[in-house]
């Protein structure tokens, strides 16, 4: 997806992917990230997710990156947070800061090792599934190239018959997860959940089979 696609979706309010409660897999598997109080966790393509708030409440420093200025502004406004704005050191992001939460407004692919140097974990429930096939390998490689060796990733993917729904999100199989991550990460499959008959928005849009998978990815030594 081109950046203009996401900018337009936020402008038009087409944000059905937004959840009003913390992600259940983040709440369940967060301890496996083994974060200490004050450690920093990174959420790529974060939108206005309330997961940012939940993680801050657990005592973490939280960093997100989001392309849409509308999403960033809505996050702070909806959570009644006052944010200071500044230009990032690279000049490629507008940095919004409020307490232990910092959001970088700009393109994920402009992130550098400097931007992510303090992060000890990543939570990805919205980034990989938002990217088309031709961008997913680039996304994983960019992460791997710019994070510390001890960084862990809690990854959530959704698998369904792609032909039954136009993307995004994109359907991602277990086989593709391993193809994307295995060369740089040790991949542990934590959980699968059949959401075919749930209240998940995809299930309600006529997708006949819907499986959510959760992984813990650790960089290879």
Counted domains in the chain: 1
Helix (H, G, I), strand (E, B) or coil at 127: coil
Task: Give the per-residue pLDDT at 208.
Answer: 85
Report d(CA 192, CA 158) in Å as an integer.
10
Cα angle 213-142-111, degrees, rounded to a multiple of 5: 115
Task: Give the per-residue pLDDT at 146.
Answer: 97
Contact (Cβ atoms closer than 8 angstroms) between residue 146 and residue 108: no
Helix (H, G, I), strand (E, B) or coil at 39: coil
Report d(CA 47, CA 62) in Å as an integer.
14
Give residue 42's domain range: 3-12+21-219
With a cut of 70, list the residues of the chain below it in pLDDT.
Answer: 1-3, 5-7, 10-11, 13-18, 200-205
Task: Give the per-residue pLDDT at 216.
Answer: 98
Task: Give the per-residue pLDDT at 184.
Answer: 97
The DSSP call for residue 2 is -
- CATH number of the structural domain spanning residue 8: 3.40.50.150
Contact (Cβ atoms closer than 8 angstroms) between residue 207 and residue 164: yes
Describe the strand order of the beta sheet including 119-124 as a list of residue ranges: 84-87, 94-98, 101-105, 61-66, 40-44, 119-124, 152-160, 210-219, 185-194
Contact (Cβ atoms closer than 8 angstroms) between residue 187 and residue 145: no
Task: Give the per-residue pLDDT at 203.
Answer: 56
- Exposure letters 77-87 (e unless 16+ CB within 10 A, then b): eeeebebeeee
Question: Does an H or E element contain 52, and which?
Answer: helix 51-57
- Bridge partners of 95, per DSSP, are 86, 104
Report d(CA 175, CA 196) in Å as an integer.
20
Task: Give the per-residue pLDDT at 89.
Answer: 83
Q: What is the pTM of this model?
A: 0.92
């Amino acid at each position: 997806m081109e950046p203009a696609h996401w900018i337009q979706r936020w402008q038009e309010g087409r944000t059905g992917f937004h959840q009003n409660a913390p992600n259940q897999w983040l709440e369940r598997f967060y301890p496996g990230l083994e974060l200490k109080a004050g450690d920093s966790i990174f959420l790529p393509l974060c939108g206005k997710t309330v997961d940012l708030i939940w993680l801050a409440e657990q005592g973490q420093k939280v960093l997100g990156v989001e392309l849409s200025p509308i999403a960033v502004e809505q996050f702070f406004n909806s959570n009644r947070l006052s944010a200071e704005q500044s230009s990032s050191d690279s000049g490629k992001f507008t940095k919004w800061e409020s307490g232990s939460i910092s959001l970088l407004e700009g393109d994920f692919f402009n992130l550098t090792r400097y931007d992510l140097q303090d992060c000890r974990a990543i939570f990805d429930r919205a980034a990989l599934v938002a990217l088309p096939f031709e961008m997913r390998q680039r996304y994983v490689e960019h992460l791997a190239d710019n994070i510390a060796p001890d960084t862990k990733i809690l990854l959530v993917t959704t698998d369904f018959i792609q032909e039954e729904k136009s993307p995004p999100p994109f359907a991602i199989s277990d086989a593709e997860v391993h193809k994307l991550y295995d060369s740089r990460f040790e991949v542990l499959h934590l959980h699968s959940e059949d959401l075919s008959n749930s209240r998940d928005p995809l299930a309600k849009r006529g997708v006949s089979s819907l499986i959510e998978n959760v992984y813990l990815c650790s960089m290879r030594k």
